[in-house]
Amino acid sequence: MLCPTTPTAAPMNTQKPVIAVLCGGRSDTRAVSQHSARAVIESIDRDRYRIVPVGIDPSGAWYVYGGSPDAIANGTWLHSPSLIPAAVSPNRHVHGLVLIANGKKLRLDAALPVLHGSGGEDGGVQGALQLAGVPIVGCGVVGSALCADKILSHRIARDAGIAVAHHAVVRATMQLKTMQEAAALIGYPLYVKPPREGFSLGVSRVARPEQLEAALDLAFSFSGEALIEQEIAGREIGVAALGTTTLPFGVPDEVALHGAVFAYREKHLRETAEVRVPARLADEEEKAVLALAQRLYRLLACTGFARIDLFLDEAGTLFFNEANTIPDLTKRGRFPAMFAAAGISLTGVLTAAIEEAMAR
């Protein structure tokens, strides 16, 4: 069934706020982004809002899309006859999109980027929306940029006295020997990561020195920099956070790995990984987890919603791992599952985030 999403499908004087849902994108995580976008489009309360899907193709072109959410999930939306080329207008009097073919304007009351990874989660799209005066559902420019950059977010956390894994930043222009020496100081096993990719793309666990060069080559294929990071022996704990005033939380979860790195394939397919909700935390541990997540949420300028990932080591120390400003919102996603365990549906989460964005 077609969604009432084209610019002419609803009268322009409708009383419902018009919410753009941005999908697709240029990132290598585009496939997961499209599945998340379908879940969002199907979950937003249609009695309260008019939804306008806006697809971004791999070249970066924007389109208003009027077809089925299923076609967004499987990627066939790119070939839909409903596509209308569009662009964000920097003119705040437009307050939204301009249709390229005829110059018509489509005013937006808010926009929700569902674009995992680089080019969607790093503040660029948010900057275009901010320039246009369109409220952003979720994290804004500053929060998105900080959280997407593991180097900067770790520095901010460390400077605030929050534990982070011992790490070194290396660059592709460095000699291999220099990078090997940095890794030796950290100690094996360790992880090598590109610093600004979503869904753990390009992440490798390196158990022995002879594996380091290949892991660096993989990370450098995404970025000119890489993080060489200490492995924390313990558990990964996730916290789903919503809003900026009362900041309700979902039930914390725990990632249990069975011989695999929790990187892109495992996060999407869950071939060996298990995510437990609730996490196995004593009452005092859970209080500490939620308090640290709230502190990080504010330190990193998050708004709307985010997922804060922590490590709890065997000695009971909490470490900051990363903050995800556009977490996986599919049915298998950790973020919706944590709120579901707290009795809050994805529809409820999205309504709260939309209302918070328009009020802000």
Cβ–Cβ < 8 Å for 354, 49: yes
Which tokens go with 302? Answer: 């998050």
Cα distances (angstroms) measured from residue 35 to each of 50, 58, 94, 116: 20, 16, 30, 11
Per-residue pLDDT for 7 more than 50? no
Prediction pTM value: 0.89
Stretch 325-348: mean pLDDT: 94
Mean predicted lDDT score pLDDT of the chain: 90
Least confident span in 148-162, 205-219, 249-263: 249-263
